[in-house]
């Protein structure tokens, strides 16, 4: 009987020790002002989000930073199936750390957060790389367009606006069937409603639409609201005569069995215009897309090919 009691006591001891070990973790870091040479931000609330491996939030904790911008959360579960993310609200914009988990034997995680002051000026917003893609379907009397923009905030402050509308891209008034994964059509423009943090945006913005085709020739003008470092105009090769003033011919882009004529340009100023002249529309071979518009049928393949161009461009910077 005494032996059984000893075993039970020993088991309880190990269970208590294991529970203590699982709850001995610390998450710490600093909140720094990236607009002011990374000076500490004191007295700001830090929210610690706790997620499981499926991404489900399990709970939150809060703490205030001290005069050094330092914060700490103690007594945390160090199970490697949990992830921790620190977040702050600075001048109305949310900033967060990386999401990390404890590794085996680790008891301390560092999750620093860099926040930025805000500005309503878009003077530091620029397009690093842009693509304008055109596919003419003479049988349907339409031209389907996709635009891609790699945008960067070259300043040290987060760009915001009072109405919440930050980036804007004009849409032709005759455009139909607008599609985008992140932009909303409003008042003849495609609008982004997110703050633009300093540095390059993590992924390009895309939008697509359809334009009507009338007659044997067509001239398309696209205006940009931000300076563009370099751009490509790609036109699906179906035998058209294509002119893009101010550009030079680049290597064709082949994707999904199609060939796109490639015209390269650079240093387009804010408010600049790109003109694409197409002729021979009535004589061009008809292009069949199985009854589905090009924007829906082949956008994925073109985007993947052009994302490859974006990655090459970014690696060269």
pTM: 0.81
Mean pLDDT, residues 161-187 taken together: 94
| 187 to 25, 172, 295: CA distances (angstroms) | 52, 11, 22
The CATH number corresponding to 125-316 among 3.30.70.560, 1.20.1340.10, 2.60.40.1730, 3.40.50.300 equals 2.60.40.1730
Instruction: State the CATH architecture for 2-116.
Output: Sandwich (2.60)
Neighbours of 256 (CB within 10 A): 12
| 177 to 185, 194, 250: CA distances (angstroms) | 11, 23, 30
Residue 184 DSSP one-character state: E
Is 125-316 in the same CATH topology as 2-116?
yes
Residue 8 DSSP one-character state: H
What was the pLDDT predicted at 141?
Answer: 84
The ranges assigned to domains in the chain are 2-116, 125-316
Return the percentage of the chain with pLDDT > 90, whole number.
72
Q: What are the b/e assignments for 138-161, b being 16+ CB within 10 Å?
A: bebebbbbbbbbbbbbebbbbbbb
287 compared with 186, residue with greater pLDDT: 186
Tens digit of each residue's pLDDT (9 = 90 or more) over 6-42: 444 444 444 444 444 456 899 999 999 999 999 999 9
């Amino acid at each position: 009987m005494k032996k059984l009691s000893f075993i039970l006591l020993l088991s309880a001891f190990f269970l208590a020790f294991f529970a203590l070990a699982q709850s001995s973790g610390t998450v710490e870091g600093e909140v720094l002002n990236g607009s002011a040479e990374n000076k500490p931000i004191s007295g700001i609330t830090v929210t610690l989000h706790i997620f499981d491996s499926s991404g489900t939030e399990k709970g939150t904790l809060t703490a205030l930073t001290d005069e050094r911008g330092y914060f700490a959360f103690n007594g945390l579960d160090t199970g490697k199936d949990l992830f921790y993310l620190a977040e702050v609200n600075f001048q109305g914009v949310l900033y967060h750390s990386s999401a990390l988990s404890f590794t085996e034997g680790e008891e301390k995680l560092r999750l620093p957060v860099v926040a930025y002051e805000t500005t309503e000026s878009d003077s530091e917003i620029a397009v690093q790389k842009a693509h304008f893609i055109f596919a003419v379907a003479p049988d349907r009397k339409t031209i389907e367009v996709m635009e891609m923009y790699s945008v960067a905030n070259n300043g040290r402050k987060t760009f915001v606006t009072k109405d919440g509308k930050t980036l804007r891209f004009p849409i032709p008034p005759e455009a139909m069937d607008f599609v985008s994964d992140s932009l909303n059509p409003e008042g003849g423009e495609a609008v982004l409603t997110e703050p633009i943090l300093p540095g390059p945006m993590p992924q390009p913005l895309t939008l697509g639409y359809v334009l009507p085709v009338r007659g044997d020739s067509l001239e398309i003008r696209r205006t940009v609201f931000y300076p563009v470092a370099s751009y490509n105009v790609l036109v699906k090769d179906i035998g058209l005569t294509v002119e893009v003033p101010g550009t030079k011919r680049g290597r064709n882009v082949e994707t999904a069995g199609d060939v796109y004529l490639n015209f390269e340009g650079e240093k387009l100023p804010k408010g600049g215009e790109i003109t694409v002249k197409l002729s021979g529309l009535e004589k061009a071979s008809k292009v069949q897309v199985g009854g589905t518009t090009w924007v829906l049928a082949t956008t994925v393949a073109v985007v993947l090919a052009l994302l490859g161009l974006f990655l090459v461009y970014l690696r060269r910077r």
